[in-house]
Structure 1
Amino acid sequence: MRQPTTASGHDERSQESRRVRPLRVLPCGFLGAQACALGLALAIAAPAWPQDKAIGRTVESLLVFARETNPEYAAIRSEADAALERVTPAGALADPKFRMELRDITKSGDQNPTLSPSQVGSTRYLLSQDLPWFGKRELKREIAEFEAEGATSRARGTWSDLAARIKAAHAQRYYLSRNEKLTREILELIVRLEKVAQVRYAGGLAAQQDVIRAQVEQTSMRSELVTLESESRQVDARLNALLARPAAAELAPPERLPVLPTAARLDYATLEERVRARNPVLFAEESRLKAAEKSRELAYRNRYPDFTVGFGPIQYQNAVKEWEVMVELNIPLQLSTRRAQERESEAMLSAARSRKEATANQVLADLAENLAGIEAARRIEMLATTSLLPQAELTFRAALAGYENGKVDFATLLEAQRQIRQARQSQIKAQSEAQIRLAAIERLLGEDL
């Protein structure tokens, strides 16, 4: 039962509730002293807890999250585990068989039928085991091992592809975020230029067209901001899908891009060797080729028969008086069937070789293409940083001073600010493009550079 409260107790609780309005503290008599203390501690700490710790500031946080949550990667890992578990049964013997025969259950018509081993004419027991021809079990186990290696490589390839898509999406988010920030800065600059144009127009030093041009430029910038915001939401939705999160889940703004490796680490000859040795797709195709070779060998080994051996006693009434041993084998007379299986294995082996060669050619072509792309992006960024951007800033300052002195028209001033914006956009886009190319190279390598 609730304890009656005194006036003084009510006043004390009223003062406490006024001091801590967001908290609702139950009387300790209701929950007990320990429960009340725990509830009060949690209530005080609750406002400090983050509602939803957003990820996305760095690409590393995205990759860690995706490795644990992406269902596609989880599925392919489970398939690889399943393929690994097939190795043991592939090379194991079949279960032995037990057979029991009740002979002459009527004793030549002298009695009614019976199923009792001690009352029939004789009872034959047989324990048998199927034995494949020598080497077949080892070949089946090796085929399963290569298939398991291929499944593991496909899991690695799935992760490499997923990581590359996440890295590319992070680079796109970085580009859109910085471009939006740049657009807002330029918009503020255009607003200030409009004010300058209005002052000059009010003083009769400039035409009204200058003010209108500034307003048109602002409208164009705001329209571009809408486009950038829409593209950002689209990229966020794609990235959330890769992370197995709701499409509208919050992502933190990207803070930085990973550091690009040095030019020496992007040498084509070195990377080609690493790609041939580590590329998950090539490794999977190599495993498939080896499995096809073993399958062909097994197809030719099927020309030889398999055996079944067995032994067992024969019971007469209550005593075992005879023992027997049995050997059985299949006769491989269906030659047309076996020749067809052999031709099939040869064709599958040829297909595996061609597929591996085609995959290697494509992977090396992608490597060369992305290396050329990352080199071009680096050069563009260098030109924009060291040449184009400083020149554009100098041009703008000169145009602004000339406009204030009446020596340059407003159109020239707007064109100068557009050049600054284009230079900065080129710089940001080159950084993003280099990261996308780097992600593609790391996908080919199956590991980070």
Structure 2
Amino acid sequence: MKTTAAENNLELKAQFKAFEAQLEGVTQAKSWQDPNLSFGYFISPIETRVGPQIARFSLTQMLPWFGTYKAKGDIASYRAEAEFEKFQNQKLKLYLDVVEKYYDLSALRHIAELEAEQLQILEDLKSIVESNYENNKANLVDILRVELQIDKQANVLQVLKDQDAAMVAQLNQLMNRPMKTPVLVSNPKQILEQKQIEETDSISSNHPRLKAIRNLQASNKAESLLAKKQAMPQFGLGLDYAIIQDRNVMAADAGQDAIMPMISVSLPIFGKKNKSRKKAASLQGESLQFQLENEETRLETEIQVAQYKRDELFSLLDLYEQQLLRLKDMLQLSETALANASMEIEEVLRLHEERLLYEKQKAKTFAKLQKTNETLNYLTSNSE
């Protein structure tokens, strides 16, 4: 199910395309600047010794300081890797979302089973009350009271059926499938009650949320290096080609076109913008360090909260088990007493209602426990 979601989920696909788009920036950053080609035509030809100059072509290629393109490529590459870590984190969160909804669905279907059992119990109680009524050991109102509970129980089952359809639609939406595609849960009770305790004392240093920031820090270091490179001169290599017209000039080289190689150097004398680039990179680096420390603290806190919640859920499960054992004994005695007409039906119905309540709370608690374990798995995951 998680694999299907990873392959088909539209939000995850969008995140991966964002990574691919960022990856294309690496090629763009390492590419040379386009050369400049210019053409000039003299409306009034300039007379030279070898003839009038009528047109000129100029081709120029600018070259940045050594290592500039590599620094730009590193910046784009690290940013692409940060985008990939965001994709990895999105995938892990998708897995978590899918399994959480699956456990919710399992709990709902187990509760539906319990409600169906309760309906059968009410039918059996009705038979006992009817038998007592025929033997003048019960009143007609007792039969009506049980029938009222039966009608209520049938309505509960219909509500659960509608909720089931809604949860199935949510799961199918995550997997980008038709909303009414069936979702099989073979044994809801067994799925809920499988206990898996994993020791998770600390965060993983390779968690995607942390690696994304570290890649941005590496990109920031490359930006600092780029700021230094940009403070250095740029070189320009060029070639001028002048077209000379042959117009009856008495010279051996008359009409010969002129070719002139050129070299240029930029003069980075305005240093304010370069200082500003370096300061911006430094401030961004400090910001990223704070972000990293904050993210580490958040992950550690979320792990601690999940562990406390898990311990609390285990305590609740122990309580429900004890209460259900006591209720089981009480129900055995009460049903015997009801058959002997020595106990009122209201008390028996109340005990069965209480038992059902504890069973449902137990199922919901198991679902919360499984979701908490999955949350801990997410918080301690790594992208490797």
TM-score (normalised: structure 2): 0.85
Q: Residue by residue, what CA displacement relative to the aligned partner does 1:71-120 show, whole Å, maximum 9, x if unpaired? A: 111111111112122212212322334445556863549xxxxxxxx985
Deviations along 1:117-149, one digit per CA (max 9) or x if unpaired, are x98527655443211123322221111111011
Aligned residue runs from structure 1 range 158-173, under 5 A: 158-173=90-105
What is the alpha-carbon distance in structure 1 between the residues aligned to residue 350 and residue 379 of structure 2? 43
- Aligned amino acid, residue 396 of structure 1: L
C-alpha distance in structure 2 between counterparts of 1:104 and 1:205, whole Å: 124
Alignment partner of 1:268: what SS?
coil
167-176 or 342-351: bigger deviation? 342-351
Whose RCO is larger (CA < 8 A, sep 6+)? 2
| One-letter code aligned to 1:63 | K
1:349 to 275, 285, 299: 285
Aligned to 1:83: 22
1:96 matches 2:28: no
Look up the match of 2:218: 290
Q: CA deviation at 1:438?
A: 2.4
Matched, 1:138 2:61: no
Matched AA of 1:402:
A
1:250 aligns with 2:250: no
Question: Are 2:268 and 1:268 equivalent residues in the alignment?
Answer: no
The answer to whether the 8 Å contact 2:103/2:370 transfers is yes
Is this contact kept in 2: 1:160–1:442, CA < 8 A? Answer: no
Question: Which residue identity lines up with residue 218 of structure 2 in the other structure?
Answer: K
| In structure 2, distance between residues paired with 1:167 and 1:244 | 15
The yes-or-no answer on 1:129 pairing with 2:58 is no
**Identity between Structure 1 and Structure 2 (%):** 17
Which amino acid letter does the alignment assign opposite residue 296 of structure 1?
S
Number of matched pairs: 372
Q: Does 1:391 align with 2:322?
A: no
| Structure 1 residue 376, shift from structure 2 partner | 3.3
Corresponding letter in the other structure for 1:432? A
Q: Give yes or no for the alignment of 1:151 onto 2:83.
A: yes
Residue 371 of structure 1 is aligned with which of 307, 310, 316? 307
Instruction: Give matches, 1:7-406, under 5 Å.
Output: 62-100=1-39, 106=45, 108=47, 121=53, 125-247=57-179, 249-256=180-187, 257=191, 262-263=196-197, 265-269=198-202, 272=203, 274=204, 276-277=205-206, 279-311=207-239, 316=244, 323-381=259-317, 384-385=320-321, 387-406=322-341
What code does the residue aligned with 1:175 have? A
428-437 vs 139-148, which deviates more? 428-437
SS in 2 for 1:417: helix
- Mean CA deviation greater in 406-415 or 358-367: 406-415
Measured at CA, do residues 417 and 204 of structure 1 come closer, stay the same or move farther in structure 2, by a change above 3 Å? same
The alpha-carbon deviation at position 418 of structure 1 amounts to 2.3
Once residues 358 and 192 of structure 2 are traced to their aligned partners in structure 1, the CA distance between those partners, rounded to angstroms, is: 22
Deviations 1:237-292 (A, max 9, x none): 32222222344x232342243886743x32314xx2x2x32x22222122222222
Q: Deviations over 1:126-181 (max 9, x none)?
A: 44321112332222111111101111011111111112111111111111111011
C-alpha contact 2:12 2:91 (8 A) present in aligned 1: yes
- Displacement of 1:351 in angstroms is 2.3
Q: Structure 1: how far apart are the matches of 2:287 and 2:235?
A: 33
Tell me how far apart the structure 1 counterparts of residues 151 and 270 of structure 2 sit (CA, whole Å). Answer: 82
Distance in 2, matches of 1:153 and 1:260, equals 32
Residue matched to 2:249 = none
Relative to structure 1, the CA distance from residue 89 to residue 320 in structure 2 (aligned partners, 3 Å threshold; closer, same or farther) is: farther
Give the Cα–Cα distance (whole angstroms) in 2 for the partners of residues 224 and 250 of structure 1: 24
Letter in structure 2 aligned against 1:170: Y
Task: Give the superposed CA RMSD.
Answer: 3.1
Partner residue in 2 for 1:440: 375
Cα offsets for 1:18-72 (capped at 9, x unmatched):
xxxxxxxxxxxxxxxxxxxxxxxxxxxxxxxxxxxxxxxxxxxx22322222111
Contact 2:213–2:288 (Cα < 8 Å) also in 1: yes
| Range with greater deviation from structure 2 (287-296 or 376-385) | 376-385
Structure 2: distance between partners of 1:340 and 1:395 = 79
In the alignment, the residues of structure 2 paired with residue 353 and residue 320 of structure 1 have an alpha-carbon distance, to the nearest angstrom, of: 65
Structure 1 residue matching 2:45: 3-state secondary structure: coil
Does the CA-based 8 Å contact 1:121-1:317 persist in structure 2? Answer: yes
Q: Name the stretch that deviates more: 359-368 or 175-184.
A: 359-368
User: Matched residue of 1:82: which SS?
Assistant: helix
* Contact 1:380-1:430 within 8 A present in 2 as well: yes
2:252 corresponds in structure 1 to: none
Output the amino acid matched with 2:27.
T
TM-score (norm 1): 0.73
Maintained 8 Å contact 1:105/1:121: no
